[in-house]
Amino acid sequence: MRSTSLLKKYAPHLEPGRDYRAVTDDELQRTSVYEIRITAWSGKKKEAAPDFAGAYRYGDEQQTQRQF
């Protein structure tokens, strides 16, 4: 799977050339992928104000452009 496919899956509102530099073939050849099996999970939810500049909200399809 190419990196652009992962970005389209997890950050569909980001676009290459606008929000990030495209990955080169050389960089992909030097990349390793590891599988980690997680048996337990714990975490906290941190909330940012709706007008927090640059906040990344996973699954927020309304966010179509970066705000800085």
Would the CA dihedral through 3, 8, 13, 15 be positive or negative? positive
Report the alpha-carbon distance of residue 14 to residue 11 in Å, rounded: 6
The token pair that represents 12 in the structure block: 């569909």
| Closest CA relative to residue 66, chosen from 26, 13, 27 | 13
What pLDDT score does 40 carry? 93
- For 31-67, what is each residue's pLDDT tens digit? 888 999 999 989 887 777 777 777 666 665 554 444 4
Q: Backbone phi, then psi, for 20, in 5-degree steps? A: -160, 160
Question: Does residue 4 register a pLDDT over 80?
Answer: no
What is the predicted pLDDT for the residue at 57? 63
